[in-house]
Amino acid sequence: GAVVSQHPSWVICKSGTSVKIECRSLDFQATTMFWYRQFPKQSLMLMATSNEGSKATYEQGVEKDKFLINHASLTLSTLTVTSAHPEDSSFYICSASSAYADLQLITYEQYFGPGTRLTVT
C-alpha cells in the first residue's frame, strides 16, 4: 500500500516556541492531506484539510493562525504549531488521500502517517 511518513516522530518543546511537523507521501501524489489530533483515550479529531496549492480548510474550533498548514507540493504538507502551550500537547497524525476507481466510482482512500507526539513543557 501507499506509504506516508511524518517527521519528527516525537518532539519536546518549550511553551511559546513553534514546532513544524512534516507529512510526506513517499510513493504517490496526494492532492489532499488531512491533519488530525488525538488526545489520550480520545478519537481522532480532524483539524484541517489541506489541498495542494490552495489554502487549508480548518474545522470549527481550530485556530488557523495558530496551526499553520502549508501544502506546497503533491508530496509534502507541513503543520506548524505556533506559540505552543502545554494544552497543545497531543498526538498529531496526518493522512494523504489517493484516488482510485471502485465500482466505476472515483473514490478516495486515506493513508495515515505514523504520527508525531508533541509535548510542550
Partner 1 sequence: GQNIDQPTEMTATEGAIVQINCTYQTSGFNGLFWYQQHAGEAPTFLSYNVLDGLEEKGRFSSFLSRSKGYSYLLLKELQMKDSASYLCAVRPQYGGSQGNLIFGKGTKLSVKP
Q: Is 80 in the site for partner 1 (CB under 8 A)?
A: no
The whole-angstrom distance between residue 55's C-alpha and the CA centroid of its chain comes to 14
Q: Is 8 in the site for partner 1 (CB under 8 A)?
A: no
Can you read off the three cell numbers belonging to residue 68?
499553520
Cβ of residue 49: shortest distance to partner 1, in angstroms? 5
For residues 32 and 77, which CB has a smaller minimum distance to partner 1 in the complex? 32
Q: At a CB cut-off of 8 Å and minimum separation 6, what does 24 contact? A: 4, 5, 6, 7, 75, 76
For residues 19 and 96, which CB has a smaller minimum distance to partner 1 in the complex? 96
Q: What residue ranges in 42-104 does DSSP mark as E strands?
A: 45-51, 57-58, 67-73, 76-81, 90-102
Spatial separation of the C-alpha atoms in residues 121 and 109, rounded to whole Å? 36
Residues between 81 and 120 with contacts to partner 1, criterion CB under 8 A = 91, 93, 97, 99, 102-103, 107-115, 117
Spatial separation of the C-alpha atoms in residues 96 and 109, rounded to whole Å? 8
Q: Is 76 in the site for partner 1 (CB under 8 A)?
A: no
Q: Is 53 in the site for partner 1 (CB under 8 A)?
A: no
Q: Which residues lie near partner 1 (CB under 8 A)? A: 1, 31-32, 34, 42-46, 49, 51, 57, 91, 93, 97, 99, 102-103, 107-115, 117
